[in-house]
């Protein structure tokens, strides 16, 4: 996740955030916000499920698809985000 955030920030010409919260306390805080929001009938701005999704530990290895299909990626992570940001700016999305 840190590598993705650093790549996006770099593509935007920004420094990555310096503040980082441990998952446990962040999840507890979000749980309290979620409960409070639900109690007063509001949709919480973020949920524990969202925290869990963004912090799940997944590693993907791409050599199999490259061998099976002959797929060769055109971009690495950083270059892909730079191109994405350029396209979004060109379309007025940023």
**pLDDT digit string, tens, across residues 12-60:** 999 999 988 899 999 999 999 999 999 999 999 999 999 999 888 888 8
Answer yes or no: is pLDDT of 62 > 90: no
Q: What's phi and psi for 5, nearest 5 deg?
A: -60, -45
Which range marks the domain in which residue 23 is found?
2-90
The tally of domains found in the chain comes to 1
The pLDDT score that the predictor gives to residue 73 is 86
- The pTM (predicted TM-score) of the whole model is 0.64
| The predicted structure's pLDDT at residue 25 | 94
For CA atoms 18, 23, 24, 28, give the dihedral sign: positive
pLDDT of res. 39? 95
Residue 93 neighbours by CB distance under 10 Å: 9
Residues 84-93, mean pLDDT to the nearest whole number: 94
Cα(71)–Cα(23) distance, rounded to whole angstroms? 35
């Amino acid at each position: 996740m840190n590598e993705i955030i650093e790549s996006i920030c770099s593509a935007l010409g920004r420094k990555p955030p310096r503040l980082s919260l441990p998952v446990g306390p962040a999840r507890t805080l979000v749980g309290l916000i979620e409960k409070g929001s639900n109690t007063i009938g509001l949709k919480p701005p973020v949920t524990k499920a969202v925290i869990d999704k963004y912090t799940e530990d997944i590693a993907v290895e791409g050599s199999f698809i490259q061998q099976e299909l002959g797929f060769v990626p055109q971009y690495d992570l950083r270059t892909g985000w730079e191109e994405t940001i350029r396209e979004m700016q060109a379309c007025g999305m940023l």
